[in-house]
Structures are given as structure tokens and as C-alpha cells.
Amino acid sequence: MSRCMKILFKTRYAEIIVTAKTNRKTCQVCNGSGQYDTCEGKDDCDYCGGSGDFISMFEHDTYSNYQKYFSKDDIEKIDMIKKLHEFTFYRDVYAHSSLSDQQAKNIKYPEEENLIVRKIQWIDKNLQR
Ligand SMILES: [Zn+2]
């Protein structure tokens, strides 16, 4: 029996659901402590942003160390939604910078939102080999 988890990635205009082939609950780098040792003492873990959660790795880990948990297709999907998420923000910033001063006064400067990542379900699977 092996456990997988379904994970939702959600940005303003799109969402995807991917399956992580792991039952890991904690960040793979700090193992849930949220910190790691540096020569100057403890520091927040860069890979999970200090929360220690597995799920947080998708928001903070710019090196994409989590890729081994996913199929090729799912990695593509995650890359796409991350790109879409960034693009939406930069497009809004660009659109705002193209406004006249008069218009810009009335329209709020775009705020950078977080890409939402949530575990939505555990799945138990029998591995057939
Ligand atoms: Zn960590």
C-alpha cells in the first residue's frame, strides 16, 4: 500500500490538481523543523519558508526539488500554472504603467497575490509491480 496526495494549485484564472507520489508531510530539506544550521547559527529554511510543511515547498522552493514526487505531465502542469501566475501579475503591472496619470489615480496598483497550494485529498493505492 502506498499513499499519494492530491494537491490543488490555484491562481486567479486557473487551477490544476496534481498527484504527489509521497506520504511526506514535512519539508524534505529541514524535515519539518523549518530551520537549518548555517555557520552563523540557525536560519529559516529556504525551501519551505520556515513552516516545515511539505506543501509550503511548492510556494518557496525556487529550485524545484519537489519534482521527483510528480509525473512528467504533472511537472509540466505545475510549471505552467506558476508561469501563468507570474505572468498575470506582470501583465497587470504593465497595464497599470500604461495608464494616464488621471486613470492611474482611480485604479489600484496591482498587488502580488500568492499562488495557492493546498492538499485536498489522500489516496491509498495498491502498488502493482
Ligand atoms: Zn524546510
* CA within 13 Å, CB half, 113: 15
pLDDT tens for each residue of 56-97: 888 877 667 778 899 999 999 999 999 999 999 999 999 999
37 Cα–ligand 1 center, Å: 11
106 Cα–ligand 1 center, Å: 41
54 Cα–ligand 1 center, Å: 8
77 Cα–ligand 1 center, Å: 23
Contacts from 67-73 at CB under 8 Å and sequence distance 24+? 69/20, 69/21, 69/22, 69/24, 70/18, 70/19, 70/20, 70/21, 71/19, 71/21
Residues, beta carbon < 5 Å, ion ligand 1? 27, 29-30, 45, 47-48
Instruction: Give the global pTM.
Output: 0.80
66 Cα–ligand 1 center, Å: 12
pLDDT above 70 covers a percentage of the chain that reads 93
